[in-house]
């Protein structure tokens, strides 16, 4: 069951490495839980490093041209 959504996941983040779910199958959206491997999606998560505390709009639709961040593409999807 895909957990993609047509809005971003807006989260206050701390510095560190994060693995954004690219396949949309993770139960821990917007982050990877390994579902891509268990479900043989052929996709891999995107590693992102944050240097400072910041509010991030993580892409929820998985179609952003600026992955893993939201660029508003979800508003153009049906």
Across the chain, which has 78 residues, the per-10-residue mean pLDDT values are 84 98 95 93 95 98 97 90
Category of 14 on φ-ψ map: left (φ > 0), alpha (ψ -120 to 50) or beta: beta
What is the total count of domains within the chain? Answer: 1
**Domain membership flag for residue 76:** no
**CA 38 from chain center: how many Å?**
18
Question: Across the chain, where does the E strand assignment appear?
Answer: 9-13, 16-20, 46-50, 54-58
- Supply the pLDDT for residue 30: 97
- Supply the pLDDT for residue 21: 97
Which tokens sit at 58? 């993580």
- Supply the pLDDT for residue 2: 66
Decide: 54 and 13 in contact? Cβ < 8 Å: yes
Containing structural domain, residue 33: 9-69
């Amino acid at each position: 069951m895909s957990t993609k959504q047509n809005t971003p996941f807006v989260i206050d983040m701390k510095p560190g490495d994060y693995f954004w779910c690219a396949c949309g199958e993770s139960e821990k959206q917007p982050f990877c839980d390994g579902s891509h491997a268990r479900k043989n999606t052929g996709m891999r998560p995107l590693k992102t490093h944050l240097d400072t505390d910041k509010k991030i709009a993580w892409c929820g639709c998985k179609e952003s041209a600026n992955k893993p961040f939201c660029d508003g593409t979800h508003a153009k999807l049906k």
